[in-house]
Structure 1
Amino acid sequence: MTKIVGKGRKTRICPLWPQTAQVIKEFVTKNELNLHSAAPVFCNHRGERLTRFGIRYVFGKYCRPAAVNCPSLGVKRLHPHSARHSCAIYLLKSGVGLADISKWLGHASSDTTNRYATIDLDMKRQALAKAAAPHSPLGRPTQWHKNTSVLEWLESL
């Protein structure tokens, strides 16, 4: 568990994935930090608490070299909210319900979560695969189902 002070100076206690906890433990050990003190773990170059602007700077700093291996990162404008959005999408893809994700992110209403917890193309494909076969109520294939060009186009998506 970790305490995070976020937007609007809201304090949240958040669980960490075991891999994240391990990386933070290694960081704390390497930098000889005292987790029982009130001092921030992540600081800027002046030793002050890292702000959202500092986080955006760090994202940009490491995103540029990563774009060499993943070109789509070259056009992304990452910011602190990107991490929250990515976490929400990861949880959604893992089968966690929107109400639980809303609580995890500290939203007052699940409507807030609904605004940006959109599903991606893979999730749309999975939803289509779960849907019933495309037959008319009479049990015969529908007109569009006979058209292979439509099916080929859909498969190419």
Structure 2
Amino acid sequence: PEAFLFTNRHGAKLTRFGVRYLLKKYVAAGTPVANTMREKRLHPHSLRHATAVHLLKAGVDFATISQWLGHATLNTTMVYARVDLDIKRQALAQVFPDVLASPRAGHLSPAAVDVVDWLKRL
């Protein structure tokens, strides 16, 4: 119970400043390999946000994610659901499975359905 999961080079707990330092260091190291990294603005909160979105996509419920991230309310966690288009599509597909089929690889929406017209009819 006294041991830290993530430590700095002195064996003390890794602080947010340490996370920022490591992220900056590895982004700089990865830029020559992945040139698009140069255009990104990554910070520690990016890791937190990406983790929450991936947990949602994996089917983890909002209450669990909220507790894990230390949010005071579920409303804070709901921000992550508003961001992701795939989650919105999945929710609509559960309610209207015959209308919204799963998208084909490489396509945002099925060719047979005009999503905008369909949403206007709701």
TM-score (norm. length: structure 1): 0.48
Q: Distance in 2 between matches of 1:126 and 1:91?
A: 15
Tell me the distance in 2 between the aligned counterparts of 1:39 and 1:121.
36
Q: Distance in 1 between matches of 2:88 and 2:29?
A: 31
In the alignment, which residue of structure 1 is the partner of 2:21?
57
Conserved? CA contact 2:81–2:87, under 8 Å: no
Distance 1:128 1:64, change over 3 A: farther
In the other structure, the counterpart of 1:133 is 99
Unaligned 5+ residue runs, structure 2?
A: 101-110, 115-122
Q: 2:53 aligns with which of 79, 89, 94?
A: 89
Task: Tell me how far apart the structure 2 counterparts of residues 56 and 71 of structure 1 sit (CA, whole Å).
Answer: 20
Cα offsets for 1:102-156 (capped at 9, x unmatched): 122121210111224444344445556554428xxxxxxxxxxxxx8x96xxxxx
Q: 1:40-81: CA deviations, max 9, x gaps?
A: 85115xx35432122111101101232344444322222222
Q: Which residue of 1 aligns with 2:74?
A: 110
Identity %: 47
TM value normalised by structure 2? 0.58
Q: CA RMSD in A?
A: 3.3
Higher RCO (CA 8 Å, separation ≥ 6 residues): 2
User: Structure 1 85/43 Cα, relative in aligned 2: closer, same or farther at 3 Å?
Assistant: same
Q: Secondary structure at 1:133's aligned position in 2?
A: coil
Higher share of residues assigned strand: 1
